[in-house]
Amino acid sequence: MKPLFLSILAAVSLHAEDGFVPMFQPNSLAGWVNANCAPETWSIKDGVVSCTGKPTGAMRTEKQYENFIMEAEWRHLSSGGNSGIFIWGTPISSPGVPFLRGIEVQVLDNGYMKHADPAKPRWFTTHGDVFPIHGAMMEPHGDHSGSRSFPSEERSKPSPEWNHYRIEANAGRLTLSVNGKVVSGGSNCNYRKGYLALESEGAPVEYRNVRIKELPSTNTPANLTAPLDQGWKPLYTGLDFRNWKVPAANAAKWQTNDWSIKLLAGATGPALWSQQEFGDCEVICDVNLPKDADLTKPAAGLCVRGLSHPLVIFGAGGKAPVMLGPDQVKAGRWYRIKALLKGGKAKVVITEAQEANPQTFEVTVDHGPRGSIGLADLSQAAGYANVFVREL
């Protein structure tokens, strides 16, 4: 029998030789950022990362990765559970969705197919799909539908058994091994440098033995690199209004709707105000205009610095520094507002989800030095989501 110190030395040498490092400490989520979930969505105990599945969203790394080999074990705790691993993702969710832009490696339990519509054309499988989402791009390997790469064989084990993924990502090429065999992947990915993330999507899931080995850089250019985090903080948990002051006068009109906030139609009432006040800052807020929205009238808007008069209004006939009528926005679509507030000036950029032609406005605003952020109630039904703030 080997002396104990020789066994320990051999184990340390093996770890150093293979170059992998753990991505989690046994009882800490240090090194990871809750991108847009509730504080309790993600937890860790004895090296097992647990996700409640609610709300839909993600937890991502603090740092960006370029070329690497990532390994992880996962299991769903209920049949048909859904999750994923995002590769080369953005720091916050894309406009109009709760997901980061990036390449998704599907983590889907076999039981999900029981709920699928057999009459629909095949466009996904239960596990091992690799595909770009929300503006990302990839040329799929092997059997595929569009840009979604299907696994060459079914190798995953059903809930509650553990599965092993090995993801190799290098110079824009990505391959996935499921339980020891390469089954899917893609090339010419855009982005090919960014954040890594674990997905929350409706059902409890666990991860363990998550580790990574970084590979030499291939000098990814800026246009193929995800934006860096600028300090964005989400204001909505996806579960409740704990960071907001719900107006008593029309509380029933404001409803949590997973990753988004639903405003019902009815008499105009006070805005939904953030509890925290902000001075100079940049605000992001996504706005959904329902298909039956009447854009000849005010439909939705964003308030800042505690003023009931919105900074931005979607729809005509109101009064705001930035007005977007039916000739500028369309019903049935999501739009992202990005408002940079400095003193009495505001730069507002409006972008339709996944579109590349923003509308930019530079305006003077009459407001105090600090105040809450508000989601406007202008009598019509509307949706709000992805409310982020970064202080300047």
307-347: per-residue pLDDT in tens?
989 999 999 988 899 999 999 999 999 999 999 999 999 99
Decide if pLDDT at 238 tops 50: yes
Q: What is the pLDDT of residue 354?
A: 75
Coil/strand/helix, residue 98: coil
* Chain position carrying tokens 């090296």: 47
* Chain position carrying tokens 């019509």: 380
Residue-wise pLDDT tens digits, 291-309 = 999 999 999 999 999 998 9
CA dist., res. 297 & res. 326, Å (int): 9
Question: Is residue 46 classed exposed, middle or buried when 0-12, 13-18 and 19+ CB atoms within 10 A define those classes?
Answer: exposed
Decide if pLDDT at 3 tops 80: no
Contacts of residue 283, Cβ cutoff 8 Å, sequence gap at least 6: 302, 304, 337, 338, 339, 341, 373, 387, 388, 389
Q: What is the pLDDT of residue 114?
A: 63
In the structure encoding, which two tokens stand for residue 120, read together? 């629909």
Confidence class for position 13, pLDDT limits 50, 70, 90: very low
Decide if pLDDT at 188 tops 60: yes
Decide if pLDDT at 64 tops 80: yes
Q: What is the pLDDT of residue 390?
A: 97
Decide if pLDDT at 115 tops 90: no
**CA torsion 118→121→126→128, rounded to 10°?**
170
Q: What is the pLDDT of residue 2?
A: 40
Q: What is the pLDDT of residue 117?
A: 64
Could you tell me how many helices (H) and strands (E) the chain has, helices first? 1, 31
Decide if pLDDT at 1 tops 70: no
Q: What is the pLDDT of residue 6?
A: 38
Closest CA to 388 of 125, 91, 89: 91
Set out the domains of the chain in order of their start, with CATH numbers: 12-227 (2.60.120.560), 234-391 (2.60.120.560)
**CA torsion 156→130→285→333, rounded to 10°?**
-110
Verdict on whether the full-model pTM lies above 0.75: yes
Segments of 39-101 assigned E as strands: 42-45, 48-51, 57-61, 68-76, 82-89
In the structure encoding, which two tokens stand for residue 377, read together? 């109630």
Q: What is the pLDDT of residue 14?
A: 41
Q: What is the pLDDT of residue 110?
A: 86
